[in-house]
Amino acid sequence: MTAAIEFRDVSRVYGEVRAVDRVSLTVEAGEFFAMLGPSGSGKTTCLRLIAGFETPDSGSVLLNGRDVTDDPPYVRDVNTVFQDYALFPHMSVLENVAYGPRVRGQRKEDWQRRALEMLELVQLGHFAERRPSQLSGGQRQRVSLARALINQPRVLLLDEPLGALDLKLREEMQIELKNLQRRLGITFVFVTHDQGEALSMADRVAVFNHGRIEQLDTPRALYTRPATAFVARFVGSANVVAGELAQRLSGRAEPFAVRAENIRLRAPAAPVNGDTMSCIGDVADVQYHGAMSRWQVRLESGEVFAAAVPDTNSNDEFRVGARVRLEWARGDAVPLTAAESS
């Protein structure tokens, strides 16, 4: 089956900076695909390459098997929800949503009807005559969603759409978007720097760093089996162990990652359990996070480990400054391919 989107060795360079560095990926039809990474990692540029606002310097972009590398945005079967919503201020909400059909020459009765339908879909039917400036952030976001979907595109691109919303609204919208995508069955490509968002919504996530994809996998695989130190640190927070310490603990020179929640705290003198790795350090800081606490432990060799420990009474014996032993199962140590951090 042809992929909805395909990148073949795509690069986009600005002077000295390689914003997108020979990226290849495929997005399957009907997928909820997330592009995750810090700012400047290339994820937004990739989105713009799909939409057609940028042209690659090398490589090709294919939509549904067709090479669209040279196609302008208005011929691609792709629509975008912009980060700043990009609603046209001199048009009403209805006219905004109806922009696509109007531009294609549809009759007034037709585009009015369809635009109203779309507004109903996002529960904003009563706002048709308002101006964008009269709407709240969340409402504007839904209008821009309606405007993008009215053309029934094969692919919907979303550029950090939830960034401007407050926490509660953001969580609601995440659920709404996921439901919408399931109902419509079209491909969603979602750009975000929030790893929690990417993990909770996407079928597959591409983690970007410095213009390259470090790992493309399902959320669970990214979390439990990070491939590189960057992914380990960026997705969830893991301790990356490298160099001498890695050699000492695992017997091999390659770096590995251990999730903070896989680390247990023990008294230094307690007996060592079976197939585990352990090391000794002093408690540097404790942060209370409700159901679990975050402990920072500094080893003699200088590295600082983060342990996320469920909050039980047995932890009261450890205070800041106390000596403690960190322990984790050997299987929880995930080997990494690169130890360089971002």
Kindly list the residues in this chain that would bind another protein in the complex (CB under 8 A).
Answer: 51-53, 70, 72-75, 78-80, 82-84, 86, 88-90, 99-100, 103-104, 144, 147-148, 151
Nearest CA-CA partner of 333 in 244, 239, 264: 239
Nearest CA-CA partner of 165 in 156, 157, 174: 174
**CB-nearer residue toward another protein: 41 or 80:** 80
CB of 22 to another protein, least distance (A): 24
* Residues 6 or more apart whose Cβ sits within 8 Å of residue 293: 286, 287, 308, 309, 311, 315
What is the distance between the alpha carbons of residues 194 and 197, in angstroms, rounded to a whole number? 5
CB of 97 to another protein, least distance (A): 10
CB of 167 to another protein, least distance (A): 25
Structure tokens at 262: 């896989």
**CB-nearer residue toward another protein: 57 or 311:** 57
CA angle 30, 33, 37 (to 5 degrees): 170
Structure tokens at 84: 């700043």
Structure tokens at 286: 């404790």
Nearest CA-CA partner of 177 in 128, 152, 142, 131: 142
What string of H, E and C letters represents the secondary structure of 260-279?
HHHCEEECCCCCCCCCEEEE
**CB-nearer residue toward another protein: 151 or 195:** 151
**CB-nearer residue toward another protein: 50 or 277:** 50
**CB-nearer residue toward another protein: 63 or 334:** 63
- Sign of the C-alpha dihedral, residues 98, 103, 106, 109? positive
The DSSP H or E segment spanning 159 is: strand 155-159
**CB-nearer residue toward another protein: 52 or 236:** 52
Residue with the two structure tokens 């635009």? 115
What residues pair up with 258 in beta bridges, in sequence order? Answer: 239
User: Are residues 21 and 11 in contact, defined by beta-carbon separation less than 8 angstroms?
Assistant: yes
Nearest CA-CA partner of 40 in 60, 56, 21: 21
CB of 331 to another protein, least distance (A): 47
CB of 146 to another protein, least distance (A): 12
CB of 51 to another protein, least distance (A): 6
Classify residue 195 by burial, with Cβ atoms within 10 Å: 0-12, 13-18, 19+: buried
**CB-nearer residue toward another protein: 6 or 54:** 54
CB of 100 to another protein, least distance (A): 4
- N- to C-terminal Cα separation, the chain: 36
**CB-nearer residue toward another protein: 160 or 327:** 160
CB of 46 to another protein, least distance (A): 15
- Sign of the C-alpha dihedral, residues 198, 236, 211, 338? negative
CB of 52 to another protein, least distance (A): 8
**CB-nearer residue toward another protein: 71 or 203:** 71
